[in-house]
Structure formats: C-alpha cells, structure tokens
Structure 1
Amino acid sequence: MSSTHSKRKLEDYVDELLSLIHCPDATRMRKDQTALPSSSNSPVSFRPRSSLAESTSSPARLQFFVRMLSERTLVVQAHCTDTIKTIHEKIQRITGIPVIEQRLIYRGKQLQWENTLAECDVQNDAGLHLVGRMRSTEHPQAWQLMDDVVSMVFYLYKNFHAKPPNLVPSKTVKSMLLEFLSTTPRTDSNQSSSHLQIFISSSAPAALVMLYMSSHKPNRDVADDAIRQFVSSIKHVLPKSTHYLCAPIVLEFCKLLNGAAGTDDPLYTLCRSSLGTMVECEIGEHKEMIGICDIFRFVGELAAKLSHNLALSMDTSSCLGPSLNEVQDFTAFVVAARKKIEEHVVSCGPIRFPLGENCCLPVPDGEEITHLHGIFNNLLGKMVDCLGKIDEHLEMRASSDNETLFFGWCQYLTILKELNSISKLYAGAEELFWDKMRQRKDALCYLTVKFAKRIDDHKWILKHKEVTNFEVRSLLVMMMLPEAKDDYEALHEMLIDRSQLLAESFEYIAHADPQCLRAGLFMEFKNEEATGPGVLREWFFLVCQAIFNPQNALFVACPKDRRRFFPNPASKVDPLHLEYFSFSGRVIALSLMHKVQIGIIFDRVFFLQLAGETISLGDIQDADPYLYSSCKQILEMDPEAVDQDALGLTFVHEIDELGSRKLVELCPDGKSITVNSKNRELYVDSLIQHRFVRSISEQVAHFAKGFADIISCQKLQRCFFRSLYPEDLDLMLHGSESAISVEDWKAHTEYSGYRETDPQISWFWKIVGRMSKEQKKVLLFFWTSIKYLPVEGFGGYVFQLILPCQSCEIDFVSLLRSM
C-alpha cells in the first residue's frame, strides 16, 4: 500500500466519520488536523450529539432528536423535503441498525417511509422515538459501546482541553475497548464473529488511528494506550479458540498504521506481531479470516527488512543485525503462508519452476508462490555469506584467546530453520539448502552451541547429523531431557541401604511419579552422614553396575567388549524382569539428565532398536561374533554348494532356554524349507531378526517406556536416539577414555581453607602427578564419586578440594607420600 494511497484512505475515513456525527465543515477540519500539523492553537468548534442545537439559518432545514431504545439520543439534521426512509438510512449509517428493523414514532404515530418530514409535520427541535428490534446480530450494547468510543475519539480530536460531556467520567476510550472485548460471546464462534465485526463496522480502527496521528500529544497517548491495550488484551481476555476471529481487526489496524505512520512505528510493530501470532496459530483451521495476499504483504515486508539487516550484520564493525521481533514476525507469517501452500504440495508434490510444468497449480496465485521462492533464494544467499563471516571469525579465534559475539548472530539459527521449512515446498530447494549448510558446517555448529535454547525445536538440525559434530548432537539431545532443579524441596528423596542397593533403588524409582523424578534426585545412604552431588554420582555408578551385572540376568555383555550390553533374551527367569527394564530405562535417562558417566555402553543392536532402526548382519558383529561369522560364510559360499544342501539347514533356530535346547521355526513350516542360494539372504535376515529383535522386543519396549517417562514423550525418546550415532551415546554414558590430566584437574579445582600456593596443596599435586593411571582413577572416585570423566574432561565438573584440619595434616601428607 503506497503512502499516498494510505493517507487518502485515512482521510476518507475521517470525512466519513465526521459526517456521520454531523460535524460541520468536515473537510476543513480534516485539512487542519490530519497528517500531523506543526501547530494547532485553536480547536475546531464541535457540537456533541446530545447537546441542544442552534437553529438553522435556512427555514427548509430541520434539526431534531431521535431517542433510541438504549436511551441514547441522536442529533439528526435534514431538509424538510427528505423522506422518512432517508432518515432511516442516516440512522443505519450511524448505528448500524438495518433500515428494515427500524420504526420511527412521532406524536404517537409511526412515520411511513414514503412521506417527507414536512408531510409528517416534523418540527424543528422535535423529538422522535426509534423503536423496533435492534440489529439482527443481537449485540445492541456492543453497537452503542462502539458508538460511544467513536464519539469520544472525535470529541478528543476536536476539543483538546475540554472534558467530554454526557459521558461517565470513569469511562475512558481504553476502558470501553476493554469492555467491548470482555462482552464478546465465548461459546458460539458465529456470535463472537458478529460481535467483533461491529468493531470494524463502526469505523473504530480508523477513528483511533486518526487520533493516534493527531498533532496533540495527549491525544496521541490516549490512542496509543487504547490500541495497545486492546490488541494485547485479546490473548488474555478472550479464549484461545476465538483469538483468530480478532485477526481482521488487527489487520485493519496494521493497514491504517502502515500508511499513516510507517512500518517502523512501534504501534504498527506491535499490531503486526500480534497479527502474526494469530495467523501462525490458527491459519490452518480458519484459513478464510486472512487472505493469502494479506499474508504475503507482511512476508515481503519482513523479508526485505531481514535482507537489509543481514547485509549490515556481515560488517563486523557494526552492532546491527536482524532483531528478535522482526525474525519472530517473519517466522509467524511464513508459517501461515507455507500452510496455505502445503495443502496443495501434499497432492501435487514440490513446486517446480517455471510453474507451467506443474501438473496442477495451487490455489494461491503463482505470483505469491514465485515471490516466496525468490525470498528463499535471496535470504539463503545472505545467510551463506553471514556463515562465511563466522568461519573467518573462527579462524581468527584459533590464533587468539579473544571471543567476540556479534548482535545479529543470535537470530541466525531461527532464520535458517525457517528457510529449511520453505525449502520443502520447492523441488531441489531442500537439497540446495543442506548442501550450503555442509559447506558451512563449522559455522553452523558454532551458532548452535552458542545460541541454541532449550525451549526451541532443534529436530530440523538433528535430522541431518552430517552437518553437526558430537558437541552439537549431545547438546541438543540433552535439551530434550528435563533440567535438574536446585530447589531441595522439589527433589525426589531416596534413603537406601547399601546392602539392598538394587532392590531398594527399584522401589524408589520404578514406583515414583515420573513428574517427581524429572525434578531431580536427592540421595543418602543409610547410616552415613555424607550428602550432596557426590553421593548421588556414586549411587548412579553403583546402581548401574548392579543393573548391568550379568548375574542379575537383565543384560548380556558382548564377548569381545565386556563394557557393551544388550537385553538378555532369557531375562524372564525373573517374574519382574519387564518392570526392571522400565526401571533401567528411567535410571539411564536420569543419569544422562544429571550428567553422570556410568561406565556402561549399549551394544549397537540395542541402540538401533531404541532408535527404531532395522538390524542388519553388520550390526551383530560385537553382540554375537560366532553367529556373525557363520551368517557371513553362508552368504559368501558358492551358490552351487548351497543348492546341493551342503549346509543342511532349514528355517529353524536352536536356542538355549533355561538350560534346555529348543528349536524355533523362523517362518511358518520352517522345518520343511531348505536353505538354498535363492533364500539364504532371507534365512540370515530371519535368523538375525529372531535372535536380536523378536526375542528381546518386550525388554526393549519396556526400557524405552522407562526412558520416555523421564524425557516425557515416547516420540521424543525415539528422536533422542535417532539424533545420535552409537558412538555418541558411548561417550555420553561411558565418558572419556583419555588418561587423567593432572593439569586439567588442577585447573578445575576450588580450595576450601587453603590457597593454591600453600605448601600442602603443592605437595598434594606433586604426589598425584606420580600416581599410576589406576591410582588416579581410585583417587578420582574417592574424591568425586566418579570413575569416568565427561568427554570435555574436568571442564564438565568443578570440584572442591577440602583438606583435613591442621591436627590431621601431617598424617594426611604422609599418607599421600606413601601412595
């Protein structure tokens, strides 16, 4: 909308509204008051509707009063030759009451439409009564309220310093607008819509914007405050299900403010943001409230701002960049635009260019579709350049200790996320987007580590693990887990006997409300005084050692790597084995949540099933080396030898169940199906699926359910594992395999009662430096209750070194020297 056109439209509103309330010389007033004049020393004279009117100079012109059912009185001016129908039409323009629903009574008689005022003998300053049912919307109070608002606005516009007459002092424009919102019907969307439509039909938006553009600051403040409260109160006053019905009102404010005040005006920005929230949340279900053209008007406007500010943010000497409000608004309107287009992309597939190549064109105009594609290409190019600047920054940082973060960078991830969503609409665009991200992998990882927030959705990055590193993947999946709280009263308390560690831990964890566990744990051992994080870390280590102890029959260790485990197919020897798998899933999730390395690794076959992936021959190499070797030989054998029944195999599998051998058919009538060169791949796959999928499916499902109890969602649980490589989870659960660095240990130690320069501290670190690898692990566990450090080393924790009191100091030093 051009500024000239918008100004003319606003002036038209002013003329129309002034004529509706019978303000004389409306044109002159508009010229004097509109478009922010530099000064206005004398307010224009104005006669309120309810005040007594002066006699007209012409004997052919009448002024009379119409008393309405609401006890409000209208002042009407007309020629004596005007028909009664003309008066009805004037009343309709003022009140919105349809002519057909009006009846005018004068001197006890109903006035007929075809008669003139002279024929009905209506005298100057006469009083008429309007009777009959009010507007069919059944919202007469709303019409009167908005009529009062418009009257108040125009009175303020004309009379800068006078108090409005015949209005209750406590009723301000702001309070009346809030009352209008509060009286909106809640349960019937049709009733709500007709009620809210009165706001636009009464021309209230134009009147308020006119007041906002007044040269008189108090008037501007009144309008600004009133519009802000009205728009902001929608989400608080109305039910969420009806917010979308207010979109046309807010859109009207946006259009008027755009033309009158410009897109940088703070009030316009507020209205645009509110409208964006409405269309983002509701457009899929209520797509007729705001048209595609209106949505794209804002998409284009915001895209242009982002493009300009991205260009500025590439200048490292500039502190400018995309603002949070601009990015949020852009995202909101693009979401709405995408939903409009996606309805057709589902049936027609990604859009190809030129549009004539599509088998069926989407309903939205090709101009909008082309426009959004152009926005995608422009902003993607800008973002690639911005990521290139970050790569340059990373190279310079590698040779310097300085860390500088620039203002615009914090919005880059959100912009990239939305560009990724847009790319799914167009053929080839998604491949182009991720190809660019692979080229700028380091910059993307840096942005993610620095600016990713727990409240945001990062699955769009995790679906493309090839553009991430371990630091990014572990950071983002940890954001799926709850944050342990510091509030002691919110923690789930446990008091456990070491001699009954597994059984009592099971009672505390398996039977607890998951919501309580998500707050965090507080742990004490019976008859021991120690408390705090160290005790909790020790409990995690000990209980996990018990859970994965092969003697408890829950998990089986891999023959080649005893740190690796997968569920035991024979775990049903314990009647509670499935409950214990749920308990195990909760414990593992809690250990990750509390960032405790437990020294346990999941075998690949277990990890892949938790991620919902299929198991193939290469995945069982560690879990069952003998079966892997046998299956590999079957697949590599000469086909003729296999067809001659050299193997003597059928589709059965022999298993050891509770000490006895048992044959299980891998398919119906498997005993009679001989393995040959054509079905040997099916045989190997069936063998693997039975051995590592079907035989432990219940155990895996219960473990996953326990894990999901902590992460709060079954779908999120699967996403957690799919977002990682098996090696990532190894590092997160087991911890670092690197030798303990004494220098790193010293750098992350705090001292209580001592200084780093004290001789006792110097002796301590000298002795630790002479220790063997195993001795350091023993000391680490004694001091911190952990045996395995996180991948980042001691930087993952901050330890406090508390030495004994002075009287015990010599013995302690002697002990250290003897180690």
Structure 2
Amino acid sequence: MSLDCLFHRLSSTKRKLDDLNDDVDDALSDLVSVRMRKDYSSHAVNSSNGDGDDSSDLSLLSDVVSRVSNSDLSSRPQNPDLHFFVRMISQGNTLVFHANSDDTVKSLHERIQVITGIPVFEQRLIYKGKQLQWEQSLADCLIENDAGLNLVGRMRSTEYPITWQIVNELVWSICSLCRGETVCSARDVTTRISDFLALASKDDSEAAKAHIQIFMSSSAPTALVMLYLSPHKGNQKCAEDCIKRFLSPSCNNLPKFVYMHCFPILLEFCKLLNRGNGGFGVDSLYVSCRSALGSLLETIGDRGGHGCYEYSKSSIAVQELFPFVSELAKTLSKDLEVSRTSKLSLGPSEDIVRDFKAFLLPLQLAIKEKVGPEGPISLPFCEANYNQPCYSEEIGFLHVTFVDLLQKMKDCLDKLVGNPLPKAVEIGHIGASQYLAILKELYGISKLYLGAKEKFWTILRERKVVVCSLITRYAKRGEDHDWLLKHKEVTDFEARRHLVMLMFPEIKDEYDELHEMLIDRSHLLAESFEYIGRADPDSLHGGLFMEFKNEEATGPGVLREWFSLVSQAIFNPENALFVACPNDRRRFFPNPVCGLCLPAASKVDPLHLQYFSFCGRVIALALMHKVQVGVVFDRLFYLQLAGKDVTLEDIRDADPYLYNSCKKILEMDPKLVDSDALGLTFVSEANELGSIKVVELCTGGKNITINSMNRGEYVNLLIQYRFVRSISEQVAYFAQGFSDILLDPTQRKFFFQSLEPEDFDWMVHGSDRALCIDDWKEHTEYHGYKETDPLILWFWKAVREMSEDQRQVLLFFWTSVKHLPIEGFGGLASKLYIYKASESHERLPSSHTCFYRLCIPPYKSMEALRCAFNIVTKEDYGYSFGTW
C-alpha cells in the first residue's frame, strides 16, 4: 500500500469515526514522523536513486490504519470521564485512552494487550515515577485528564519522574498544536522546554546525560520538527525558537556540560529537517542545526575523548555523519568552481569550510583506525585485504572527493599565478581567504591514500609563490599551521616569519593591559632584569609600556630604544653572559660554565641562570614587538634551542681553532693516528675561573687512547662536552624564558624548528646591508614641505654626504630604530615623515620617534642645515636621550 493511499484511508476513517479522533490523529502524526525518518540511514550519494525501502514502515502503518478502521465502538467505555496518554518507551509510540475513574489498572493493562499484543505480565505502567498496581483504580492512582503514563517492561521506578512528566506534557502539547487545537498554546511548549533545560542543568554531567536520554526516548526532537513543519500559524516560529535553544551553550539556557551531551538531539534535528525539506539542505534552520552539530563535533574532538566523543567515532555515528560530508563536499566543489570561473570575490564561505572540517574529522579517524595499521590505502580498495570490516564506500567516496577538490584548488591557485593577491583580494576575497583551510583538510585526507601526499605537496611546491602570498595574507592567530611549518619547501622567509609570529600573543592597545616599566638609564640592565625577569609571564603578554626616569618621553619610540639598549647590555662581553664568535663578532653563544681559555665564565654571577631566562624573555619580546636588536645567535646555540644535534661543522664560527684541530684528526693518515703520534686520550682540559682541570669525556677516558677507529667518537664527545654539556643549563634557562612569552610554551622547540637559522638571524638582527638612500626617500612623506623644496633637496644631499655611522645615528634619532628589517624601510610599521617645524631656523631638528617624524626648522642655507645635522648625528647626542 502506498503512502498516499494510507493518507486517504486515514482521512476517510477520521471523518467516519469521530469518537476515534484521537487515535487517528496519533496515527497521522506517526505517519508524518515516518516520512521524515524514511531511509535517512542511506547515504546522500545514493539518495537520488530512489526513496528507499518503505516496506517496514508501510507494514507498521497499515496495521495502525486497520486497527483504527476496524475498532469496535461498543468496546469503548460509555460516557468516559478520563482522557489520558500512554507512552510506549520501547517503541516510541503514544496511545490515547478514554476510561472511567473507577476502572482498574488491570483493565487498562488488558486494553493495552489487545492493542499492542504485549502480555499483561510484561507490562509496567509508570505515572509520576511510580508503578501502578493492578488492583488500584484510576482514581486511586490520581490519574487526571490529559495525564501522561509510561509503559515499560519490568521496571518498577524511574530516577527522574518529573523530567518524564515534563517531556511527555511537551510532546502532548506539540501534538495538540499540530492538530490546530487551542487547548494548548506556543507558550506551553516554550515553558516546558525551559523547565526541561532547567532540570537538565540542575545536577552534574552524568545526570544531564540521563535527562537528554529521556528527551530522546520520548521522541521530543521529532515532535519539535513536526511542529516546525506544521502549517498552522505560529507553530513554525515556536518550534524554531525551541530548537535554537539547543544549538549553542549559554550560561542561562544551556550550560556547556549539558550541551556536550546534546549530540544525538542535534543529529536528530538535522536528519529530520533535511528530510522534511526534500533533502536539499536549503532550510535556514537546518543549516543552523548542521553548523551547531559541526561545532559540537569540534568541541568533542578537542576534549580528547570526553563526553560523547566515543559516540562520534562509532561506526553508527560515521554512517550517520557521512551524508553531511557528502553534502558539504559537493557544495564546496561547486563554490570552488564558481571561484575559478567568476569574480575573485566569490568562493567558499567560512561556514561551509568549517562544517566540512568538523564532519570530516570523525570519518577520517574511523578510516584511520580501521586501516591505519596497514599503512596508506592502496586503490582500488579491497576490503578482503583487511582483518576487520571497513568503510569501503566511504573510503572510495573520500578519495573521489580528494581528487575533485584538489583539482579545483589547483585551478584556483593557477588563476592567482602572476597576480597572487590583486586589489579585489586586498579588500576582502571571501574565496581566497578559505583556500588555506581547504588545503589543510585535503592534506589530512591525503595521508590516508598511497601516493596522495606526494601529489598534494607537488602541486603546492609548483605554486609556492601563491601559497606564500595566501599565508602572509590570511593565516591567522589561533589556527593550526603546523602542517605548513613542517614542510618548509613550500614556504619562503616571509611566510615562515608570518607563521611563527602568530605563536606570540597579540599586543594590546589598552593601557591597563600593558606591563609598565620605569627604568634608570644608569642601572639599565639590573632594573630591566627586575621588571622583566621577575614578572609573571602572563603580565608580559599584553605588551610593554616603557619610560625612563626623569624623562617625559613615552611610547613605542622609547620602547624601541630600550630594546636596543638592553640588548646591547645583555651581549656586552663585560657582563659575561654571552661570548662573541671569533670569526663573526655579531654572532653570540652562551658563555660556558667552564671553557677553554675563556677569561670568565657566566656563573661568576650567582643570578647568571636567572639572567639567561631574562635574556630569553627579552629576545622573545623584541620579536613580538617586531624590533630588530642587531645581534645574531651562533648556529650551535640556535640548534640547541631547536632540540637538534650539534656536529663538527656547526662549531666552525664558535671555535675556529678547535674546528681545524678536529678536522686534522679526522683527515690524518690512519697509520699515523694508530701509532699514537697524537698522544691523545678521551679527556679535555677546561679553564674554570682561572683553574685548569682535566675532565674525562667518557668513563675511563684517561686510559683510552685515540686511534683511527675511535677518533670520530672522540671528536663528537669533545664537541658535546665543550658546546653542549658546558652550556646546557644556560640554554635551558634561555629557552624557558623564551617559552614564557609564547602563547603555547610547549611550542618553543617547534618555533625554532620551523625556521631556517638564517630566518632567525634576519628576524632578530635585521638587515645587515648599508642604508639605501633611494629606498629611504621612497618611504618618506612630507608635511609643510614639498619634495621639490630647496630644503628637502639640501637634506637628502646632506644625508648622501654622511658616513654610514652618521646615517645609522640619524635613523635612530628619527625613529629609535637602530637596525632595519630585512625588507629595508618598506618593512617598518609605517612610512617616515618630514615635518616643517614651527621653531626658529636657529633651533636644531627634533623628532617624534613614535610616529617616525623628523621635524626640520626652515633653515636658510645648505650650510646651516648641514651644521645642524652634524650635531644630531653625533653618537653621544643622538643616543643620549629618549625621544618620543
């Protein structure tokens, strides 16, 4: 019998049997519910092939129709004074009864047996949490009109009777509204939803889970969707408001610990709404429910297995979530095609990409769990090759999705080649802004299939320029960029710098969130240590506010000056913290606790280790504030911060003498080495505060002679002792200080591993090229003067006549920037400005370093201007005070 025939037959029966009105309406409601539920478990990819097998549903409904149509009116109570409902927990159906108050509970059980076929001895009727006894009358049980009873099997009580009552009343109210009756109002529904959520939020997480199960067992989600699809006025708005209360956690309506258990409710909403709207996913409430379900999946995944995460990984959940993956993948594919063929402002939305990511994760986890031990999946996939059942259909579909989306992304990236980020993108390119997120998901899928990863990275390597442009434009703080940082072959310096800078906190603009410092220049290092080294790390995350004692100037310019001065003090050899490399005096590594022929060890200061922690914080803060301090770390220091091994080649700059000696030992004729011509054993001499001592490089090293077979081991142990073990504590404290400034301290090693040593040099030191006058002029603007004014022409001529040191002092006087970024003047936070000063031409130039402003009085001649700038470019003048 078809669905349409059932509807006609039920409608006809309703007209003929007015006394059975309630039973018929109930059957109609069941039929609507079945239509919404029909065959949803079949995958969306096959939904276009037919409506599925309705035979079981039709058989059930046929029995209901026959029961209603063939009912014997004479068997019904005469002049009944009670009208109530019996909810069958196991089947999810509700029976409507008319009875007299003096009827016994046993007679009610017998009527239930006639209708359902359930033996009387298997039935238990629960009302308000208590089991009704056979010998009692309905009056004895205090059964009232419109009461809700629950039919269960061999159950004597329930832990949450009030919840059962509220949910049953909710379902009854919804059914009344769907029938167009005025006995209930939308307010009754919203009130009962509020009451339910209040009860669910009353106890702990486990209790909340039990309340949610009652809500599901009573088919309340189905009833709400029925109300939403109801044609009666006001029903849709009422249902939408109620459903939306489950879509996100809030302090008042839905606490987070309750929300974490709402996975099955949200899933049911999505399934029913999607089917109820023809399966096209265009209904706005459906889209909201789908996004909420995706957000909950992400939240569950972040909790690492808590809540209902196990449910999201089960085979049932994977099969239920797969239609969403299919639907979103198709939408994403269409959006990428639009992005490729139309204007750049069109493309995938953030919501679609986020939902795709959320629903894809459980599917990836399930496939990886099933076939992961076997390694990447080889296609065509053969389930017989695996020891346990696999998701063969899902595996095939996911690979097809990967190939399709990767090709679409390839085409979209190719469209940007040659003009990666045109003007349309700069003002907001929705499509391009999601490209990185899509590529990240495709990378995750590629790890599942043999050869897919290689194909993925080949495409990105061939489009490296575009990928890097997307990174510098759209990569944001708080997102996962590890997958890019681990593959440096597809990034350049600017892209890597941008990504690691996102590991630092964002500098705050609010004054009350800044860490204040008031420092005496005459005690710069000691007072800076007190303010930075002893501060709580969290207090440094908002930014710094710097002021020198007895000076009015404040702001970013003064802060840049402080960074320059404190860094100069930290790396000053007189403070014995760091040692400069003999071959490159810009490069530094920690002063060893004990070293060979070093004048002093860093541990002469009892606070030396705390000072290394302070140094790590200062360098990290300088990076965070984008200030180049003009120093470079030696390679062996950088490698240890990155958690990597130090080899002979890495000590070339730190100790050229030892490097050359070790090279000779390794390259010497084996026979000469074996003849003990070197006279060496596995020991090393160390100078600790003027005292020479012999240290064994290994157990019994004094008695082990170096020969051609063990000389490599000797060189390695010697390097480890001199440049790893001797500074291990200093490196550890520096690393801890650096980690304190990162958003995630555990990312410190990965921070350094993500960069090339040269990258870090450029970030900390800045450009080591001479200042380019043309670049300087190109990034300078004028206020009060014109570029062609004689004074401006005189100024640039005077700058060209200056020595490089004078230009450096002028730059510092103008901006408090001592070392330019690697990009030159274009890498500064803003352009530079020359203002016409209101002071007399007899005054010297002044500056506002916070705003990169140089104020020049209207000098009458080139000679007068040259004399003025000869004064301000003297080092003891330009570096002697804080400008603002």
Question: TM-score, normalising length from structure 2?
Answer: 0.78
1:329 to 342, 355, 360: 355
Partner residue of 2:731?
700
Which secondary structure state, in structure 2, belongs to the residue aligned with residue 215 of structure 1? Answer: coil
CA separation of 1:319 and 1:21: change in aligned 2, threshold 3 A: farther
Partner of 1:22: 22
Q: SS of the counterpart of 2:402?
A: helix
Query: Please, which of 681, 689, 703 is the counterpart of residue 720 of structure 2?
Result: 689
Alpha-carbon distance in 1 for matches of 2:381, 2:365: 19
Cα 1:6–1:587 change in 2 (3 A) is farther
Report Cα offsets for 1:436-477 as digits up to 9, x if no partner.
221221111111111111121111100111110010011111
Query: Residues 239 and 130 from structure 1, CA distance in 2 versus in 1: closer, same or farther, beyond 3 angstroms?
Result: closer
> Which shows bigger deviation, 239-248 or 196-205?
239-248
Deviates further, 306-315 or 231-240: 231-240
**Deviation larger for 259-268 or 27-36:** 27-36
Q: Is the 8 A contact 1:92 1:99 kept in 2?
A: no
SS of structure 2 residue aligned to 1:653: strand
Q: Partner of 1:214 in structure 2?
A: 230
Picking from 180, 192, 211, the partner of 1:176 is 192
CA shift for structure 1 position 380 = 1.9
Q: Say which is worse superposed, 708-717 or 413-422, in terms of deviation.
A: 708-717
Give the match for residue 879 of structure 2: none
Native 8 Å contact 1:66 1:74 kept in 2: no
Give the CA deviation at 1:272. Answer: 1.2
Matches within 5 A, 1:37-186: 58-62=73-77, 64-66=80-82, 76-77=97-98, 84-88=108-112, 99-102=123-126, 111=134, 136-159=157-180, 163-165=182-184, 171-184=187-200
State the partner residue of 1:47.
none
Distance 1:655 1:270, change over 3 A: same
Aligned equivalent of 1:265, options 271, 283, 286:
283
Q: Residue type of the partner of 2:172?
A: S
- Displacement of 1:665 after TM fit? 1.0
Correspondent of 2:218 among 197, 202, 225 = 202
SS at match of 1:646: coil
Relative to structure 1, the CA distance from residue 5 to residue 578 in structure 2 (aligned partners, 3 Å threshold; closer, same or farther) is farther
Structure 2 gap segments, 5+ residues each: 37-70, 87-93, 593-600, 846-858, 871-884
Task: Please tell me whether residue 311 in structure 1 is matched to residue 360 in structure 2.
Answer: no
Residue among 598, 601, 605 paired with 2:636: 605
Cα displacement string for residues 338-364 of structure 1 (whole angstroms, at most 9, x for unaligned residues):
222333456443333444498644554
CA distance in 2, matches of 1:446, 1:473: 11
What letter matches 1:22 in structure 2? D
- Of the structure 1 ranges 515-524 and 277-286, higher mean CA displacement relative to structure 2 is found in 277-286
8 Å CA contact retained: 2:682, 2:696: yes
Q: 1:577–1:25: structure 2 CA closer, same or farther, 3 Å change rule?
A: closer
1:505 is the counterpart of 2:521: no
On the 8 A contact 1:273/1:325 being kept in 2, the answer is yes
CA separation of 1:350 and 1:727: change in aligned 2, threshold 3 A: same
1:765 and 2:796 are equivalent in the alignment: yes
DSSP 3-state at the match of 1:138: coil
- Structure 2 CA distance, aligned partners of 1:699 and 1:439? 42
Long gaps (5+) in structure 1: 37-55
Deviates more, 1:211-220 or 1:506-515: 211-220
Where does residue 368 of structure 1 map in the other structure? Answer: 394
1:692-731 aligned at under 5 Å gives the runs 692-731=723-762
Find the counterpart in structure 1 of residue 265 from structure 2: 249
Superposition map of 1:270-669 within 5 A: 270-282=288-300, 284-285=305-306, 286-288=309-311, 291-317=317-343, 319-344=345-370, 347-356=373-382, 360-361=386-387, 364-394=390-420, 406-569=429-592, 570-669=601-700
Choose the corresponding residue for 1:742, options 754, 758, 773: 773
* Secondary structure, aligned partner of 1:650: coil
Cα pair distance change 1:539/1:316, threshold 3 Å? same
In the alignment, residue 61 of structure 1 is paired with which amino acid?
Answer: R
Match of 2:881 in 1: none
Stretch of structure 1 that moved more, 215-224 or 667-676? 215-224
Against the structure 1 CA distance between its residues 90 and 173, is the aligned structure 2 distance closer, same or farther, given a 3 Å change threshold? farther
Q: CA RMSD in A?
A: 4.2
Alignment CA distance shift 1:7-1:67 (3 Å):
closer
How far off is 1:178 after superposition?
3.0
Cα distance change on mapping 1:807 and 1:147 into 2, 3 Å: same
Cα pair 2:580 2:586 within 8 Å, conserved: yes
- Matched residue SS, 1:664: strand
Letter in 1 for 2:179: K
The sequence identity of aligned pairs, in percent, is 51
Change (3 A) 1:23 1:320: farther
Q: 774-783 or 364-373: which moved more?
A: 364-373
What is residue 48 of structure 1 aligned with on the other side? none
Q: Using the TM superposition, give the Cα deviation of residue 237 of structure 1 relative to its aligned residue in structure 2, in angstroms.
A: 4.3
The answer for the alignment partner of 2:818 in structure 1 is 787
**Alpha-carbon spacing, 1:817–1:137, altered in 2? closer, same or farther (3 Å):** same
Alpha carbons of structure 1 residues 92 and 449: separation in structure 2 relative to 1, 3 Å: farther
| 2:838 match | 805
Aligned residues of 1:465 and 1:723 also touching (Cα < 8 A): yes
Letter in structure 2 aligned against 1:206: T
Q: Secondary structure at the match of 1:556?
A: strand
**Change beyond 3 A, Cα 1:238–1:346:** farther
Code of the residue aligned with 2:735 in structure 1: it is A
Deviation at 1:249, TM superposition (A): 1.2
The answer (yes or no) to whether the contact 1:351–1:358 under 8 Å persists in 2 is no
**What is the match of residue 48 of structure 2?**
none
Q: How far apart in 2 are the matches of 1:84 and 1:806? A: 104
Q: 8 Å contact 1:557–1:565 — kept in the other structure?
A: yes
Deviations 1:27-76, CA, capped at 9 Å, x for gaps:
7899999999xxxxxxxxxxxxxxxxxxx995443263558899xx9962
Judge conservation of contact 1:491–1:521 (CA < 8 Å) in 2: yes
- The CA distance in 2 between the partners of 1:6 and 1:577, in whole Å, is 87
For the residues of structure 2 that align with 1:358 and 1:529, how far apart are their CA atoms? 79
Matched letter for residue 22 of structure 2: H
- 8 Å Cα contact 1:537/1:786 also seen in 2: yes
Q: TM-score, normalised by structure 1?
A: 0.84
Shifted more, 289-298 versus 809-818: the winner is: 809-818
Q: In structure 2, the residue corresponding to 1:685 is in which secondary structure? A: helix
Q: Which amino acid aligns with 2:496?
A: R
CA distance in 1, matches of 2:204, 2:378: 42
SS at match of 1:431: helix
What is the CA–CA distance in structure 2 between the aligned matches of 1:131 and 1:559, rounded to whole Å? 87
Deviation, 1:495, is 1.4
CA distance in 1, matches of 2:4, 2:640: 61
Provide the C-alpha distance between the structure 2 equivalents of 1:155 and 1:311, rounded to a whole number of angstroms: 47
**Cα distance between partner residues in 1 of 2:749 and 2:34:** 61
- Given that residues 748 and 794 in structure 1 are in contact (C-alpha distance below 8 angstroms), is that contact kept between their aligned partners in structure 2? yes
In 2, are the aligned partners of 1:174 and 1:230 still within 8 Å (CA)? no
Shift of 1:618: 1.3
